[in-house]
Amino acid sequence: MTDPASVEAGVAAAVERFGRLDVFVNNAGLGLVGTVQETQRADWDRLLNVNVTGVFNGCRAAVNQMLRQQPRGGVIVNIASVAGQIGVARRFAYCATKGAVIAMTRELSVDYVKDGIRCNAICPGTVYTPFVEGYVERFHADTKEQTIQELHARQPIGRMGRPEEVADLAVYLATDEAGFMTGSAVVLDGSVELAYGRGGLVVELPVEADADTIEPQYLPGLTDEAATLREALRQPIASPPLRDVVPRGATVGISVCDVTRPFPAQRVLPVLLEELDYLDPAAITIFVATGTHRRCSDAELLQMFGPELLGQLQVEQHDAFDIGRHRSLGTIPETRVAAYVERDFLEQDVRITTGFIEPHFFAGFSGGPKMVAPGLAALETVLELHSAARIGHPQATWGITQGNPVHDGVRAIAELAGVSFNLDVTLNRDHAITNVFAGELFASHAAGCAFARATAMVRVEDPYDVVVTTNSGYPLDQNLYQSVKGMSAAAQIVKPGGTIVIASECSDGLPEHGGYQQLLRQADGPEAFLARLAQPGLATHDQWQVQVQALIQRRARVFVKATGLTAQQLRTAWFEPVDDVAAAVRAALTSAGPKATLAVLPQGPQTIPYVTRQ
């Protein structure tokens, strides 16, 4: 693999025999034990030559052939290592070179995806091969059996991997069944990494459970985010270009997500503002659509926008509890409740909404019109949009907008507000932008929802006894209130009477602000709260979140791992606290019986599974 001519000859031989090159696997590699101080320059160069330059030679030869042949395209599978993603003691050179393989895989997938070339990496843990056996024989001959058992025990699953298991994954990645995967680094080490806080959480699930891991289709980030954003603003959906929508001398209000959403404002807003460079910056106001959430702190605003944008533009944070800041647009259709929206936003000559689209647990999808209501709506209006009747409607669920009474009301208010232009993005688990939808509010949002539905919603045949979920990591898992969304995703596929285990960091606590905590304390549990809700007259801040939580807990037991909350706080919130996710899963499986089934949603509500048969 270190000789380019040899690699090219191998590719040529394959083409001569089979007529084309459909699959190329880079599997050659060397290992080395040592810290940076213990690693000799000659050994470092040797590992770079084989593990990095060898993969480069293979990828280059494969890509050249795949571009020459007709039809163009093919699949490249690079064998990396879990050591390329985590630190392994005294494996300095090995970790560095395998990290490079993962980086090359991701970059190559972006460059050639439009040419029909997919490239993925496999990141195995320790695999029991003749190489490992020879290593043990050479360095641990006197304790061979003990050392092999220690290597088995060191793996999360309790044993080393088998070569055929790596081969099976490589075959899968080469087939059309993995046709929507490119740029992925698939870990194969017997464990699962859950999105938890900023750093993730590795969990060793019982191998005998044969868990189904359910994730959204991974999409690589856009090759050039700014260029794609610019194109969307200049060639929008069902709308003139943004520059034609915004006349010279106009005042502009831009609604953006608050800190609880991973909207990449620092990457999106500069491109949008470039298109409006003929305006005085003083004419542009950013409205942080907090809904009924708390205000963002100064540090959070800096995190969201960066110092340059904060210094350039006026930023107003919405306050749903100050009715004087709102103006009535009439009533919400089929109600007597006023549609109150932020007055300053309505008084702008041009009103722009920006957001990101993902499935939402009772509004169908986020983004688009939700950036007006509830984003910039008064509490009275939000209470109607999130009323017990609307939340309890069977259509008020993931992935449904039309006929969903929550989203129907949201769209009606946004239409009354007169949004001039909309810009939505979709994101992958790395928060990279995967697509952009801009233009007329409802047409662009509908296009984005269709895209998100196709990539984030996953069909399963039967419900599960136990479902492990998350709330997609930071910033979405900042508090327990937000974590109800991750529970709701799991509730879609858990059996009645089953168990949900959620890992959500909750660094912001319950939280202390809002009505969520108070409502929990006012009832003895889910059934007591639902009974109270059935009585007329209960309409208060955050009741909708407690309603959804109670309905989930009516269906299944819910265990919560949350570093930011004490066990007592979780019990007060009607949950069962756990420190060890794996132990909780084992106990739940044991309780469910020998044929118990297990599903894992590592990305939480970034994936919305649904059952095709009950």
The contacts of residue 375 (CB under 8 Å, 6+ apart) are 255, 257, 289, 290, 291, 318
265 alpha-carbon distance from chain centroid: 17
Q: Give the pair of three-digit tokens for residue 6.
A: 């040899």
Rounded Cα distance between 102 and 80, Å, is 6
Instruction: Give the residue from 341, 292, 283, 334 showing the smallest Cα distance to 313.
Output: 283
Q: Give the pair of three-digit tokens for residue 525.
A: 């549990």
Instruction: Give the residue from 44, 158, 139 showing the smallest Cα distance to 100.
Output: 44
Active-site choice (94, 112, 218, 516):
94
Backbone angles phi, psi at 436, to 5 degrees: -130, 140
Determine if the peptide bond prior to 333 is cis (ω within 30°).
Answer: no
94 is catalytic: yes
Cβ burial of 568 (10 Å; 0-12, 13-18, 19+) is: exposed
Q: Give the pair of three-digit tokens for residue 321.
A: 């509890």
- For CA atoms 220, 225, 229, 231, the dihedral sign is negative
Instruction: Give the residue from 74, 65, 55, 67 showing the smallest Cα distance to 16.
Output: 65
Backbone angles phi, psi at 481, to 5 degrees: -55, -50
Rounded Cα distance between 440 and 344, Å, is 21
Which residue do the tokens 């985590």 mark? 86
**Residue type at 327?**
R
**Residues involved in catalysis:** 94
